Structure 1
Amino acid sequence: MAGVWVFDNGMVRLLQRPKRLGRRTELIYSPTGEMVTSHEMLEEKLHSLGWVRYPLNDPEVILFHRSASSVLLITVPRDFSKISSMHMFDIAVKTRHVFLVRDAADRA
């Protein structure tokens, strides 16, 4: 069962899609502290790390791969506004110490 269990008025219930309360996440390029705001910017940063766009004729997603010997792929939606925290964490995990994900509210 996906969702979040909450305790409310003595009852436990499952929220299928919890409200995010306006919180947003940001993908940050650690070396410069820049927030990634476009596919072009993301592709430029990934390219400098050896990632290249994987040739795919899918109108919904863009794939990046590191090399022919690697099985790692990064998948993001073609519409940059649809990149979720899940996509951001996938990028951060596969490019350790280069990208990080933070809450927009944590901005200094």
Structure 2
Amino acid sequence: MDNFTGGAEVNRESALSSHNSVRDVMSRMWLQRLGRSVDGQVEDHEKFFECGGDSIGAIGLYIDTEERLALVIDAADFLGTLAEGDFGNLVRLAERAGDEATT
């Protein structure tokens, strides 16, 4: 069993340790899906498809986000934000989902 399986609360805690934010975790997943070094940082204005992402990568990023951050996000909202918005919009969507999960 890896760090991202098991109970949702355990997943969220392991993915979001004190030195990892939603933005940091999503940045690594985004870069990984684009085949880029995960040591970099994604800027808020970057758009997944303009950076070389494709539909398979977008679906993978959606799955990664739900599993690694233990979030429930509507697939249409996530993929729509990914298609029409930028990284900053996507992070805010994930942060809202996290806030809703804890309230």
What is the TM-score with the length of structure 2 in the denominator? 0.29
TM-score (structure 1 length as normaliser): 0.28
More strand by share: 1
Structure with bigger helix share is 2
Q: Which has the larger radius of gyration?
A: 1
